[in-house]
Structure 1
Amino acid sequence: MDSESPDSLPVAPGSEAEDGQASHRPSKVLLVTGMLGAGKTTALRALEDLGWEPVDNFPVRLLPRLVSTAPGPGHSSQSLQGSDGSEPLAIGFDSRTRGFDPYSVISEVRALAETGEIDFTTLFLDCGAEELERRYNETRRRHPMAGDWPAAAGIAAERELVAPLRRWADIVVETTHYSTNDLGRTIRELFAPSAPQGMTVTVSSFGFSRGMPPMADLVFDMRFLDNPHWVDSLRPLTGRDQPVADHIAKDAAWQENFARIRDLVMGLLPLYEAQGKSYLHIAFGCTGGKHRSVFSAEALATELRKAGHNPGLLHRNLDSHASDLVEGGARVNAR
């Protein structure tokens, strides 16, 4: 630990040292540490997605000043906020951090916790030596503590150095057999058990004649269905109108194929969520983007709601003027 005391740092206007009041203190502080290469960066990114304010490679000697500083603009987590509205902090540090001394870290945190104003939790990320060595070899990075020796020597020295933190930590996560997605899912399960964790699902319609949506994850081409555009009374209507819906539903190809699409999507949703996907865009296309794709998107959104999801619904070309040129002019090679 650096010999410099936090008390020797300059006093900022409005700080606790100046006015004697603990203002803007976050009620939650999570210390994230562990073996180098065990997944600290991945964990901090997952925490940021959950509403924590991450600070990486932070000198723990400055911890008293950090936790008494108001969060920056734009932080407004509602599920994790402290009683004063402050953002919960996730502070990452490891053996590379300046002035790193495990015993001083423990002493510093215990002193702050005794005030009763901050809820500290320590997460230690561990990983087997062979897996860590494999990761270093894979990335071709040198272990900071290895010097001219193999990575295994640096890993062994580091493990001995951080052992007090591992024994002291509230939570130890072993990442030897974890993928990045596995670790992200574990972090979500540990630190956001009551926060909304579902994906943001969007269902949309579009016209192929105006280009495909560039960011869609799943695209279904509905041009195999009978086209209401070629029915004069239906042409000015959209897939939201009942006459168009009845026309499409009477197509023998509709029922069976939509059921397959619905079942495929329902089966994929939990798999995407398990991989930590935050957004899923399901798009339906037809020629002009007004009839078949709109009806299909509306139908899937209804099925998703019945299953307990809350999808967003977008119709990209619904208000576009679907001229005969867009739909193909005269009915030659109609579909």
Structure 2
Amino acid sequence: MTTETTSTGRVQEVVLAQPRGFCAGVDRAIEIVERAITRFGAPIYVRHEIVHNTYVVNDLKAKGAIFIEDLADVPPGATLIFSAHGVSQAVRREAAARGFEVFDATCPLVTKVHVEVAKLRREGYDFIMIGHKGHPEVEGTMGQLDGGIHLVEDVEDVAKVVVPDESRLAVVTQTTLSVDDAAEILAAVKRRFPQVREPKQQDICYATQNRQDAVKVLSAEVDIVIVVGSPTSSNSNRLRELAERLGTPGFMIDSAAELRAEWFEGRPRVGLTAGASAPELLVDQVIARLRELGALAVRKMPGVEEHIEFPLPKGLGDKSMAEAAAQRQN
């Protein structure tokens, strides 16, 4: 970095994290809403934001989606979609009792956690869940059971857990946590409860892991990290926090309009990533704004190429998820 560059405060280079942006679960959830609108006509009701991204939610509203929290706000005979974060058994029962046509957009990796919880409960297990209180995914997972599941948000919470039988205790994790934070809390759980049963595969999803791994590499190469993501997005927040933890200033933005020129004073190398619910369109708009601020070069880091796709629910068409995702990005 030259003295002249530092004094001008101009952006010189943008380095793109790989991977970034939409994951397979988000692609699937958005496609479910769009297909339902096309097939059944507007309005289509969605319980909770389908994914935690302002642009995506507003785009789907414009197409005919109505987002609600209380099923009492859905008229009889309507089509209802559960968000990618999953719902409790109580919500499922209420939706069935009200007679809605339901399509489930719960991410299959969240569903995997729900299935594991139900299976082990039948075997007499209680649970510790590592996650953030109030997050819809946590509420959905904890709502798979009527009690017997203990939420821990940090290491200190582990000491407060009391279970009837330590030999019948399992641990599950919110899928969008910081990998490092979750590992620290899990280590505390294992120290306190040495017999605790862990999942066969970690619950933190591949996309969360990959995007965090990319930020670890990115942070070492740049002067500042910009994360495209909405404030409600857990995985996006974790990316910004990770950059900060690694000593690189990090800012999270919902759109290019939120960029501030002063952030780049003396920081000519800008790292750019996006949470798993943020579309590439927003990344492109941020790059355009960074070019206005002086960026002359944009390069993509090498990284994991993701090719995972999840099938749509029955009744929503035959087009592959890959084709649908390509159409949305264009």
Q: Same fold (TM over 0.5)?
A: no
Higher relative contact order (CA 8 A, sep 6+): 2
TM-score, scaled relative to structure 1: 0.27
TM-score, scaled relative to structure 2: 0.27
Larger Rg: 1
